[in-house]
Amino acid sequence: MRLIGIYNTEDSREYAICYISIRADGASSVNGSESDLFLAEPGVAVQGVTERAFVLRTTGFQELSPGVFLAFSESEILLRVEDMYSEGIWQLSVQRGGFVSVSQSMETWNPIRVGVLTVSDKASSGLREDMTGPTLAESVKSIGAIVEEKVILPDDREKIEQQLLDWVDIKDIHLILVTGGTGISERDVTPEALMGIAHKMVPGIGEFMRSRTVYYTQRSILSRGLAVTRNRSLIIAVPGSPRGAEQCLEAVATVLRHGVEILRGWEKECGHSN
């Protein structure tokens, strides 16, 4: 897909470039003003859309469905297809902003279904608020992911394993992020739980997370973060602190989508451009 036009319904002008962002309330913003955002096929009349809107026109228009993501290959912009507004016109939401210009190419991404599991004795008993789970849930939006499951459990290997088996074998979650329990104390059993249900190990992910985060703190070498697969799901364990978890996820985020695509068999139908 390639962007061939940017049309503003408010002033009836065509733009060569614009800046797309997300407002604090979650609404889409274009060039600093709140605006609806649409994707339209070439030749489709757009006079019926809202008064203040930007319409992106593309070539190579593919069959779309709600939840599919549009990733601009020459920028960091990520848009999500929300619903069909009318025939040939789809409403979009902004997941990650930036500058977009005419002639940019786009890739279609299938949504990644994510589960976030927080392992913490204190958080599970209500003695401490879980700050890391929500941080991870927000961070994975950048790879075109939708968090469908969130659970907090104590440092109990059997409970962790049962939760992972439910998410993988029953609910078929694509990517599972487990935060907490990766240290070396007696209660830290998350790595053992992952290895207990794993079909394959993915050692490079844990190795790379440690190699990158050691620049923030040498204590990262004590973390036993790791990654495994079970069936067609990728499961990754990261530290329990919000900062440590976010740094680890940031280190490997660029390869996570590719890993999920391989496991799901999407590599030829997703993440491609025309």
Residue 119 pLDDT > 90? yes
Delimit the CATH 2.40.33 region(s) of the chain: 2-109
Question: Closest Cα to residue 222, out of 233, 232, 213?
Answer: 213
Q: Kindly tell me if the per-residue pLDDT of 91 is higher than 50.
A: yes
- How many angstroms separate the CA atoms of 200 and 106, rounded? 33
Alpha-carbon distances, residue 99 vs 19, 32, 55, 74 (angstroms): 4, 12, 15, 10
The class (CATH top level) of 112-264 is: alpha beta
CATH 2.60.40 fits 2-109, yes or no: no
Q: What single-letter amino acid sits at 273?
A: S
Average pLDDT over residues 197-201: 98
Residue ranges of alpha helices (H) inside the chain are: 121-124, 132-139, 157-165, 190-197, 203-213, 242-264
Rounded distance between C-alpha atoms, residue 21 and residue 196, angstroms: 43
pLDDT at 215 over 70: yes
Residue 106 confidence (pLDDT) above 80: yes
Question: Cα separation of 57 and 173, whole Å?
Answer: 33
Which pLDDT score is estimated for 274?
Answer: 38
- Per-residue pLDDT at 193 exceeds 90: yes
* Number of residues assigned to the chain: 274
**pTM of the model as a whole:** 0.88
Query: What band does 270 get if pLDDT is binned at 50, 70 and 90?
Result: very low
Mean pLDDT calculated for residue range 98-105: 91
* pLDDT at 47 exceeding the cut of 80: no
Model confidence pLDDT, tens digit, residues 64-88: 788 899 998 777 899 999 988 888 8
CATH 3.40.980.10 in the chain: give the residue spans.
112-264
- pLDDT at position 134 is 96
Across the range 208-214, mean pLDDT stands at 94
Per-residue confidence (pLDDT) for residue 155, from 0 to 100:
97
Among residues 88, 72, 208, 210, the alpha carbon closest in space to that of 142 is found at 72
pLDDT at 34 over 70: yes
pLDDT of res. 11? 87
Report the pLDDT value the prediction gives residue 63, as an integer from 0 to 100: 67
Q: Are 194 and 147 in contact (CB under 8 A)?
A: no
Residues of 107-135 as b/e, b for ≥16 C-beta within 10 angstroms? bbbbbbbbbbbbbbeebbeeeeebebbeb
pLDDT of residue 213: 93
Buried b (16+ CB within 10 A) or exposed e, 159-191: bbbebbeebbeeeebbbbbbbbbbbeeeebbbb
pLDDT confidence of residue 83: 87
Closest CA to 140 of 111, 99, 170: 111
Residue 77's SS3 state is: coil
Look over the chain and give the mean of its residue pLDDT values, rounded to a whole number: 91
